[in-house]
Amino acid sequence: MQYVYGPIPSRRLGRSLGVDPIPLKTCNWNCVYCQLGRSMPLTNQRQEYVPREAILQEIAAALAHHGPGEIDFISFVGSGEPTLHSGLGWLIRAVKDTTEIPVAVITNGALLYRPEVRGDLLPANVVMPTVSAGSPAIYKRIHRPHPDTTFDRLIDGLCHFRNEYSGQLWIEVMLMRDLNDTELALRDLASVLERIAPDQVHIVVPERPPAEPWVKPPDEEGLLRAAALLGPIARVVHPYVDAVDVFGYATAEEAVLSIVTRHPMSLRQLEQVLARWPAEQILAAVATLRRSDQLHVVDRLGTRFYTAAPSFFPNGTSPEK
């Protein structure tokens, strides 16, 4: 499997079959917290990066392999920004014609200012955009966006989408210490979220390796402040680590590389999620991938993580202004 993985356990989506229609770090944002490293270069061009028919064939194969109740959601979530794939709307509709399993799209929302992108996402059951800033200045510092994807376009696009969309709109807020966890920043963010009127707000923190080494999770006071100021529909969501379905992977090496391309992990986490193979086999797979330069190591948040070789994580400790 090249484009489909899992299902993986998710606190928000249950057993989620992931669909990745985008090559690694094809994105219009260069977020300081991104677990996949820096986006180099940024792009805001929509095109068919991966043949849509090839993606649909893998989805069909995964659905045929799993019985009723084994998949709760089919989730489009890229190794970059999935709405940059010009065939995303076609794929969502094709999946909806194939199965009754609900579809989710995890997106930064930056392209929702375009009517055709909003139209692509309308058939999805759940759309999960990111809004982590309530002002243009904080937006630029956190997301370092492509020049075309401005703060005003993000918020206006989300407001238009909310008016057109009848499904569930769940906003994700990535909360970081000294970036957007102050009272002023959170009050600005709350005002923006009130305009968008989502169904839920999910507060998440950088628990995997952030692109920039100076990014830190908020302290307990910051989390409590965010939960209080962002309103009753806001809740803190932590990642759920459990065994991952490894259908479609013939070897431990294939499974390790596929997982860390989308979710960098420590050795302990890899042993936990890839429980099909003994721990010593996972360790051997990591060593083999390291020797062939397909796997790199990044130290973040006091932990050593493994990530796919094309990912770029700079060293250093000074925040960028």
Whether pLDDT at 240 is above 70: no
Q: Which of 61-75, 216-230, 236-250 has the lowest mean pLDDT?
A: 236-250
* 269 confidence band (pLDDT: 50, 70, 90): confident
Residue 21 lies in a domain: yes
Residues near 264 by Cβ (< 8 Å), separated by ≥ 6? 35, 36, 208, 209, 298, 305, 306, 307, 311
Residue 317 lies in a domain: no
Q: Work out whether strand 14-19 and strand 200-204 pair parallel, antiparallel, or are unpaired.
A: unpaired
Buried-state track 163-195, b at ≥16 Cβ within 10 A, e below 16? eebebebbbbbbbbbebbbeeebbebbbebbee
d(CA 239, CA 14): 12
Residue 188 lies in a domain: yes
User: Cβ distance 131 to 154 under 8 Å?
Assistant: yes
Kindly report, residue by residue over 77-96, the tens digit of the pLDDT. Answer: 988 999 999 999 999 999 99
Domain with 23, as residue range(s), is 4-240
Q: Percent of the chain scored above 70 by pLDDT? A: 95
User: Cβ distance 4 to 55 under 8 Å?
Assistant: yes
Mean pLDDT over the full length of the chain: 92
Q: Which two tokens stand for residue 245?
A: 């379905």
**Of 52, 25, 22, 56, nearest in space to 41 by CA:** 25
* 57 confidence band (pLDDT: 50, 70, 90): very high
Query: Identity (one letter) of the amino acid at 44?
Result: N
Whether pLDDT at 127 is above 80: yes
Residue 184 lies in a domain: yes
* 139 confidence band (pLDDT: 50, 70, 90): very high
Query: Identity (one letter) of the amino acid at 26?
Result: T
Domain count for the chain, please give it: 1
Average pLDDT over residues 207-213: 90
* 317 confidence band (pLDDT: 50, 70, 90): very low
Bigger pLDDT: 221 or 313?
221
Residue 218 lies in a domain: yes
- CATH number for the domain harbouring residue 18: 3.20.20.70
Residue 41 lies in a domain: yes
d(CA 177, CA 111): 27
SS3 state of residue 169:
strand
Whether pLDDT at 319 is above 70: no
SS3 state of residue 82:
helix
What pLDDT shows up at residue 182?
97
